[in-house]
Amino acid sequence: MTAQIRTQVTVPLRFPDGYSTSARVFTFTGLADGREHLALGFGDWRTAVTVAANGGPAPLVRPHSECLTGDVFGSERCDCGPQLREAAERITGTGGFLLYLRQEGRGIGLYAKLDAYALQDTGLDTYQANLALGHGEDERDYTAAAQMLQSLGAPRIRLLSNNPDKAAQLAARGIDVTERIPTGVHLSAANARYLTTKRDHTAHTLDLPLTAVAS
């Protein structure tokens, strides 16, 4: 299935810490899951795409799954908000795309994610809680992300992510991931167990201090 760019518009952005940038925001038709995913082109993304098409370095791309609690409200139970902020600045500096994917709670939805939080408060980890609710550990599918990249003319990318599953899924869907670049480690007292579980259970690239592992 082929996706097409539906609309594109420039949106100036300002983050809570004062960092400002601008994004070319794309909407699409024909996405496999029918959801309203967005692509944000940061920096000189046009040149980055052209250079890659001519055999040069691929544009930097972060597929970022929607997280209302972290992205909007600043929840410290996860590292999503800081990763979004980091990605905007890093991609602006090199040229590329942030794919904002409507896959709240690893694909289980907002209410179910909050139900999972309640189970985590009883001692389950983030993956155990999803399973206890009858969901998969991670229900995200990156077919639409691959479609978006193809329609943007970016079938070769440098992937900004700690998650090896994103690289594997995109590669399986025809995207050439030339390099996987980890994000920073955004550790807080509230998310130490969460980050440690991601590192140990699903091989996320997270260089955590020993104090986080022990907590």
Q: How far apart are CA 213 and CA 215, in angstroms?
A: 6
Record the tokens describing residue 50, joined without a space.
């052209």
Whether residue 152 contacts residue 98, with contact meaning beta carbons closer than 8 Å, is answered with no
Strand partners, 8: 26
How close are the terminal C-alpha atoms of the chain, in Å?
Answer: 46
Q: How many helices (H) and strands (E) does the chain have?
A: 8, 7
Burial of 102 (0-12, 13-18, 19+ CB in 10 A): middle
Query: Which among 202, 135, 178 is positioned nearest to 170, based on CA atoms?
Result: 178
Q: How far apart are CA 81 and CA 70, in angstroms?
A: 5
Q: Which residues are catalytic, by number?
A: 138, 140
Cβ partners under 8 Å of residue 160, min gap 6: 60, 61, 62, 87, 90, 91, 181, 183
Residue pointed to by tokens 């155990």: 128
